[in-house]
Chains A and B, each alone.
Chain A
Amino acid sequence: GAGVSQSPSNKVTEKGKDVELRCDPISGHTALYWYRQSLGQGLEFLIYFQGNSAPDKSGLPSDRFSAERTGGSVSTLTIQRTQQEDSAVYLCASSLGGWTGDGYTFGSGTRLTVV
């Protein structure tokens, strides 16, 4: 596609429920990143996929968070047993490669609210 597409744009869920967030990167981009942004804060790295390499999961805050990337394209971020502190905007980005800024493009994000 022309840009990075994320869905849903907004998600309200009850505490304790599981949620899945989707990211569709730009075609041909081998690198895909998930970040989250709490209200008024900077971006916090969550996980990074580069080609067929094992993902860098060093930013995942707990084992309730997981992500996969199927076929080197679409990625899904799953949060199990959501907590109120998980409320944030979850941003996905993709780029041509892992080591340069070429084409580093963000999606519009998914605003997650846990009530």
Chain B
Amino acid sequence: GIQVEQSPPDLILQEGANSTLRCNFSDSVNNLQWFHQNPWGQLINLFYIPSGTKQNGRLSATTVATERYSLLYISSSQTTDSGVYFCAVRKGSQGNLIFGKGTKLSVKP
């Protein structure tokens, strides 16, 4: 099946710093989403981005489908950005999402 790899697995930032999280996938996909799981376990849908670039406040995401990767940019990080960021993809006629193992982000004040 399709493999989803995220890097780095762990990231520690000082408040105010910028960061880039990467998601590589092993096959063509028709859906890619980024989620944030906060320290209390709630998963929040950040972006639906099978291709192109989207921005939402301090967060933006870019997916280059032909090269099978997506990037999540966090600018001017805040302590509330801490948590785990998951990339998830869907291929073909499958209904479910296939998740990567996530990047655990810790933003220090």
Contact = CB atoms under 8 A, between A and B. Distances in A.
Given A42-B86, A43-B86, A106 B95 contact: no
11 contacts: A33-B95, A33-B96, A42-B102, A43-B99, A45-B98, A48-B96, A91-B43, A99-B90, A99-B95, A101-B45, A106-B35
A93 B86 CA distance: 15
Contact of B96 (A41, A59, A105, A109): A59
Given A104-B45, A104-B97, 12 more contacts: A33-B95, A35-B96, A42-B102, A43-B99, A45-B96, A56-B94, A89-B41, A100-B48, A105-B45, A106-B35, A106-B43, A106-B45
Nearest to A46: B96
A46 to B, nearest CB: 9
Give the bracket for the number of chain B residues in contact with chain A: 20 to 34
A102 interface: yes
A105 B48 CA distance: 12
A98 interface: yes
Contacts of B41: 89, 108-109
A89 B43 CA distance: 12
Contacts of B31: 99-101
A98 B101 contact: no
A44 B95 CA distance: 13
A79 interface: no
Nearest to A43: B99
Interface string A47-66: 01010000010010000000
A104 B96 CA distance: 11
A45 B43 contact: no
Contacts of B88: 43
A98 B95 contact: yes
Contacts of B96: 33, 35, 45, 48, 56, 59
